[in-house]
Amino acid sequence: MDKEKICQLILAYIKDFDPSEYHQYGNIPALYKLGYERQSIKEAIWSLVSRELAYIDFESGSPVLSDIIITDYGRKYLEDTEISPYDQDDYMNYLLQNVPDLDNTIKFYLRESLDTFATKNYLSSVFCLGAASERLILLLQENYCSALDKAECTAQKDKISKLHNIKPIYETIHKDFVQIENPKRGGYRYFGYNLWEKLDSQVQHVFSLIRTSRNEAGHPKEITNIDKLDAHSHLVIFPRYCITVYEVINILESKSLPTGIVF
């Protein structure tokens, strides 16, 4: 078992421990009874401490018998271990299993985001994740244009060329998608209800959240406080956001669009 899995096991083991009560299962020797090599347990403990997921309570006894106590951030991490930025290989494998043809530029910036998160450079992590998100929206725009007929594709490219940042580009695409799907008139004939709900709410919200944080991280001004929880939460929600956009791209590649959208 790799170190990250042992870290998760330790957190799950100590999460209900009440340090105010007498116990025997929250201290270091108790963790050795989990069945893994002592060195692996020690490395996992210090990994948890360095990442502020747990701390060692030296007041609970001698250093050898000290308690390992989960932090609030550790509890949040434990809730999110399905997609954990701390386990980079599992994180990327999860995304690639769902999006086998993930764009190389997105992969590059996403790995940079994970790497800088691991070294506690949260500002850089959010900035790189924003770059991955921007590339994702540009791919959506490219595939949308390709799905239009020739005249409408030309008109779409002309419209996009006059826009100078990613926010109005996304808003233009979304406006067209609303016209295609026509949800207020009981539409949902192109994307379908479930995908449209994710596209209209989840994607729009996550795109806006990551874009705002990236702007705060990337524009020279007063020092911006991007903390660990911000960077962590952005990385946790990114895979589902990316998967949804690729679902839309796959539909654009496989179904003809109705005409009369752009003009």
pLDDT tens string 94-147: 999 999 999 999 999 999 999 999 998 998 999 999 999 999 999 999 988 888
For residues 189 and 251, is the Cβ–Cβ distance under 8 A? no
Tell me which of 6-10, 25-29, 192-196, 210-214 is least confident: 25-29
DSSP 147: H
More confident residue, 219 or 110: 110
Task: Count the residues in the chain.
Answer: 263
SS3 assignment, position 224 = coil
What is the domain partition of the chain in residue ranges? 3-79, 82-254
For residues 212 and 225, is the Cβ–Cβ distance under 8 A? no
In this predicted structure, the answer to whether residue 26 has a pLDDT above a threshold of 60 is no
How far apart, in whole angstroms, are the C-alpha atoms of residue 73 and residue 76? Answer: 5
Q: What is the pLDDT of residues 39-71, one digit of tens each?
A: 888 888 899 999 888 988 877 555 555 788 888
User: pLDDT grade, residue 219 (50/70/90)?
Assistant: low
User: pLDDT grade, residue 86 (50/70/90)?
Assistant: confident
Q: Is 100 exposed, middle or buried (0-12, 13-18, 19+ CB in 10 A)?
A: exposed
| Predicted local distance difference test score (pLDDT) of residue 95 | 94
| Predicted local distance difference test score (pLDDT) of residue 249 | 93
Q: Cα-flanking dihedrals φ and ψ of residue 27, to 5°? A: -95, 170
Residue 244: how many CA atoms within 13 Å on its side-chain side? 21
Which one is the CATH code of 3-79: 1.10.3720.10, 1.10.10.10, 1.20.1560.10, 3.40.50.300? 1.10.10.10
More confident residue, 207 or 260: 207
Q: pTM score, two decimals?
A: 0.69
- Over residues 159-175, mean pLDDT: 82
Q: Which two tokens mark 103? A: 């764009």
Q: Which two tokens mark 247? A: 């679902």
